[in-house]
Amino acid sequence: MHLCIPLTCILAAYCYFLGGVIILSTKISRYDIISQQEKQLRYTIREGEKKSPWIKSQLSKAGLTANDIKTREDLQKMPFTTKQDLRDNYPFGLLACPLEDVVRFHASSGTTGKSTVVYYTQEDINTWAGLMARVLKTTGLTNKDTMQIIYTYGFFTGGFGFHYGAERLGISVIPSGAGNSKKQLEIMKDFKTTSFTSTPSYALHLAEVADEMGVDPEKDLSLRQGVFGAEPWTEKIRERIEQAFDIDAYDNYGLSELCGPGVACECEEKNGMHFWEDYFILEVIDPDTGEVLQDGEKGELVFTPLWRQAMPLIRYRTGDISRIMDDECTCSLPFKKIERITGRSDDMLIIKGVNIFPSQIEEVISQHPEFRGHYQIIVEKEGAMDGLTICMEVTENLFSGNLKDLLQVQKELENSMRSTFFISSKIKLVEEGAIPRSMGKAKRVIDNRRNKK
Ligand code: ADP
Ligand code: ZN
């Protein structure tokens, strides 16, 4: 069986199994994790050389055979795999098993262009479900919970990933899917939902609808926690969601090319996401040079999954920017953590020569007490220069009050932006609801410079 079943010595230390995936060990040592990773790496490369035309071609491009890759250091000899490689090999070029063994296709949401397709064997699905069960358990969910899954069920991996993981953990699942906010809230009330999952931006929207409907989450709902991800979000947004629903809100990370959700998540400490080192090798690289960085240094996350049958990948460049945190966690999980994702390398805006991630803009404007969570960044050419405008929603009261107050808020925000990024920007305050809501990932940036190309 192609799966990373740990060494017998590690086994004893684990609590219990879920679909082949071992859930929440606290006693596994760093040494055992690395041995496990290297054992699985050798297996993945050996099988890849035999079964995956893509891995075979990557090995020969580097003048290597599977025998040359035995350790984590050896892995650095291998070329990277990129999203473009997946697009170039669309749809079946990455397949490493007969098509009849594939039981499922998924695709990425296509946030940055044509979506990429991923395939799963039954065993891949089982492992994914186990990894997701691990995520949900880490955020404190148990079989006593009822979870509403407010993600699209379809090509996008979010809905199914959470669904299988939650079922595997024995959670009562409500597969309500994305959209129809009023209905979502009614279901929450009627079914006494204790947890829900969606994008953080949709959770904010749901909070507004609850408010409009006169639903008081503290009195009318039974929610105690929520698991959010699929897009960057800041601490301020977490605070807003937590306050609005009277819950604990946890971050989780994943991408369809690696399985979907199920790669990393926060524990009760809510400070960095543990990633499953017994199932993935993570390197952090300088996105410009490809050089591997030390733990603690910020760069692009590159993952090698160690368990996949239908679509093994070596050194997949995610484009996502973060760093490996080197501090130990109070939860005593042995797996390292990554910091909140800053954004994707291709989301980075270069404005008047300054590199800025949308999440950094959010960080600045969210400090203002008038920040409600909804904003949009508009970049366009103003003559030869780049112009940056941030549309930010504020409460209606501000518009019905004194014009001076409105101008004051605007000025304060423009000053904060200038003192942080050393460039000027315009702040446009708009009424609540003026910025389009999304059922999934929010569209934060409209770059009209790009659109004109
Ligand atoms: P895509 O959006 O690339 O079409 P996916 O639907 O698979 O593909 O989404 C995966 C991407 O979503 C990740 O690569 C990352 O950019 C983003 N993402 C997922 N989880 C998080 C998170 N917790 N924080 C920030 N970004 C996230
Ligand atoms: Zn922890």
Written as six digits, the tokens of 130 are 């186990």
The pLDDT tens digits of the residues spanning 288-321 come to 999 999 999 999 999 999 999 999 999 999 999 9
Pocket of ligand 1 (CB under 6 A): 108-112, 115, 156-157, 229-232, 251-256, 318, 320, 341, 344
CATH of the domain at 403: 3.30.300.30
Distance 254 CA to ligand 1 centre (A): 6
422 in any annotated domain: yes
CATH of the domain at 100: 3.40.50.12780
Atom nearest to 264 CA in ligand 1: 23
Judge if 353 and 339 occupy the same domain: no
Atom nearest to 116 CA in ligand 1: 4
> Is the confidence at residue 11, as pLDDT, over 50?
no
27 in any annotated domain: yes
Residue 59 near residue 25 (C-beta atoms within 8 A): no
Report the Cα 95 to chain-centroid distance in Å: 24
Judge if 255 and 371 occupy the same domain: no
The pLDDT tens digits of the residues spanning 387-421 come to 999 999 998 888 887 889 999 999 999 999 999 99
Distance 344 CA to ligand 1 centre (A): 8
Judge if 287 and 380 occupy the same domain: no
Q: Which of 29, 54, 44 is nearest to 74 (CA)?
A: 44
Judge if 111 and 20 occupy the same domain: yes
Judge if 264 and 141 occupy the same domain: yes
Distance 134 CA to ligand 2 centre (A): 13
* Count: domains in the chain: 2
Judge if 299 and 372 occupy the same domain: no
pLDDT of residue 23: 61
Judge if 219 and 81 occupy the same domain: yes
The pLDDT tens digits of the residues spanning 15-46 come to 556 657 766 666 788 899 999 999 999 999 99
98 in any annotated domain: yes
453 in any annotated domain: no
362 in any annotated domain: yes
Q: Which of the listed residues 345, 370, 396 is the one where a domain comes to its end?
A: 345
Q: What is the per-residue DSSP string for 257-319?
A: GGTEEEEEEE-TT-SSEEE-TTTEEEEEE-TTT-PBPPTT--EEEEEEESS-SSS--SSEEEE
By alpha-carbon position, which residue is closest to atom 18 of ligand 1?
230
Distance 276 CA to ligand 1 centre (A): 17
Amino acid found at 146: T
Share of residues in the chain with pLDDT > 70 (%): 94
Q: Which of the listed residues 345, 367, 387 is the one where a domain comes to its end?
A: 345
pLDDT band at 5 (very low <50, low <70, confident <90, very high): very low
Measured from the alpha carbon of residue 322, the closest ligand is: 1
Measured from the alpha carbon of residue 303, the closest ligand is: 1
Place of tokens 């780049």: 386
pLDDT band at 265 (very low <50, low <70, confident <90, very high): very high
Most informative mutation of 320, 321, 441 for ligand 1 (most atoms within 8 A of CB): 320
Measured from the alpha carbon of residue 275, the closest ligand is: 2
Judge if 262 and 405 occupy the same domain: no
Distance 328 CA to ligand 2 centre (A): 8
Average of per-residue pLDDT values in the chain: 92
Judge if 275 and 318 occupy the same domain: yes
Q: Which residues contact 1 (CB under 8 A, 6 or more apart)?
A: 123
295 in any annotated domain: yes
452 in any annotated domain: no
> Is the confidence at residue 123, as pLDDT, over 60?
yes
By alpha-carbon position, which residue is closest to atom 2 of ligand 1?
111
pTM for the predicted model, two decimal places: 0.93
Distance 135 CA to ligand 2 centre (A): 11
| Residue range(s) defining the domain that contains residue 423 | 348-447
Judge if 274 and 416 occupy the same domain: no
By alpha-carbon position, which residue is closest to atom 11 of ligand 1?
255
Written as six digits, the tokens of 91 are 């749809």
Q: Which of the listed residues 305, 322, 345 is the one where a domain comes to its end?
A: 345
> Is the confidence at residue 248, as pLDDT, over 80?
yes
Most informative mutation of 227, 238, 251, 255 for ligand 1 (most atoms within 8 A of CB): 255
Q: What is the per-residue DSSP string for 102-166?
A: --EEEE---TTSS--EEEE-HHHHHHHHHHHHHHHHHTT--TT-EEEE-S--SSSHHHHHHHHHH
Judge if 246 and 297 occupy the same domain: yes
Judge if 272 and 414 occupy the same domain: no
Rounded CA separation 263/259 (Å):
8
> Is the confidence at residue 364, as pLDDT, over 60?
yes
25 in any annotated domain: yes
For the segment 2-9, the average pLDDT, to the nearest whole number, is 41
Distance 377 CA to ligand 2 centre (A): 34
Atom nearest to 441 CA in ligand 1: 2
